[in-house]
A = this chain, B = another copy of it.
Amino acid sequence: MEDVVYTARGTPNIALIKYWGKRDEGLILPKNSSISLTLDGNAETVVGKAFKLYTTTSVVFSHKINADFIYIDGELQDLSNKAVRDRFAIIDILRGIAKTNAHAMVVSKNSFPTASGLASSASGIATLAYIASNALDLKLSERELSILARRGSGSACRSIMGGIVKWEKGEAKDGSDSFARQLYTHDYWPELLDLIAIVSEDKKKVASRAGMAQTVATSDLYRKRLEIVDGYAAQLEKAIEKKDMDVMAEIIMKESNSMHAVMLDTSPPIMYLNDISREIINAVHEINTASGKRICAYTFDAGPSPHIITTEHEKERIVDRLLKVEGLQSLLLTKMGKGPEMLQESDALIDKSFAPMLK
């Protein structure tokens, strides 16, 4: 099983019920369950710089390599740094399962810019878990893969499968019941769209990992969020079952606002939404009010760029309105995707002599 380069690609997901706060920092166990759409990497650029939403990762395990090497977007990762090592602990875990001490070379690249506000860690870690376990021929289940990905980056566990995915928070201390499961495949609701409106990032960005720990430690309102957010998830599941965009949009926006509210209630406050974000929020509410029902919803991860969830039928009017927003850097259109997939040998980012190739 060794000495062969394996390559796969995966994609980010957008949470409709957000993950914000851990009950276990080491095992990355969340305070609440979350629900997301795994995105189709083959996004269409409506305006701005064209890019796709893939992370492509090649892995080889070999005794011919004298250490682990991990390259992300051309940069060699510093594995002497504990935080970086923790992030890639899944390689050690997999080596343990496979009972091998072969070193790994990992080469990964994102087809989207880092400053795009698209969380690269979810697609990166999910793709790594997927391809590394394949490289070691471990035949892990999706559930096992999602637990593995969770250990690298919480939300990565939801990018292990396509379609609509729920990360069950679980109750067990060891995290064995904290995994993602697919609620619906990517073709369940073909009309469902995600318009990603990329707006300028602020220079100073609070990292999610530090930010959520700060919220758990200091926000009084956060405790209330924890009491209600699983209720939002249950309502969202029902709305998805009925394909009821009106109710779905209500919950998505409420839940995103609730997360950003507890961020603001953190000491010191965490503020990701900027003036452009606020303009888009107001525009979405105006469109919905004018329509007499909710036909679209915004949702913001830990950044100022919203994902606008809507349906094919309403696409044009929403795009028209978004294009009027000053300060919009690019607008991407995508839908639900299938999750990670194996690529051909010709797509490998590592050549046969185990040298990184950055195509």
Contact = CB atoms under 8 A, between A and B. Distances in A.
Interface residues of A, number: 29
A139 interface: no
Contact of A268 (B204, B260, B271, B285): B285
Contacts of A278: 271, 274
Interface string A316-338: 00000000000000000000000
Nearest to A281: B269
Interface stretch (A28-36, A48-56, A181-189, A218-226): A218-226
15 contacts: A204-B282, A220-B228, A221-B221, A221-B225, A221-B258, A224-B224, A254-B265, A257-B264, A257-B266, A257-B267, A257-B269, A260-B264, A268-B281, A271-B281, A274-B278
Q: How many copies does the complex hold?
A: 2
B258 A265 contact: yes
Nearest to A254: B267
A128 B258 CA distance: 40
A285 B342 CA distance: 48
Contacts of A282: 204, 268
Interface of A: 204, 220-221, 223-225, 228, 250, 253-254, 257-258, 260-262, 264-269, 271, 273-275, 278, 281-282, 285
A211 to B, nearest CB: 14
| A contact face: mostly helix, strand, loop, or mixed | helix
A238 to B, nearest CB: 18
A129 to B, nearest CB: 35
Contacts of A266: 257
Contacts of A224: 220-221, 223-224
A276 to B, nearest CB: 9
Nearest to A285: B268
Contacts of A260: 264
Nearest to A267: B254
B253 A220 contact: no
A200 to B, nearest CB: 10
Contacts of A220: 224-225, 228, 258
A104 to B, nearest CB: 40
A222 B339 CA distance: 38
A37 to B, nearest CB: 22
Nearest to A278: B271
Contacts of A204: 282
A243 B129 CA distance: 56
Nearest to A260: B264
Contacts of A221: 221, 224-225, 258, 261-262, 265
A204 to B, nearest CB: 7
Nearest to A228: B220
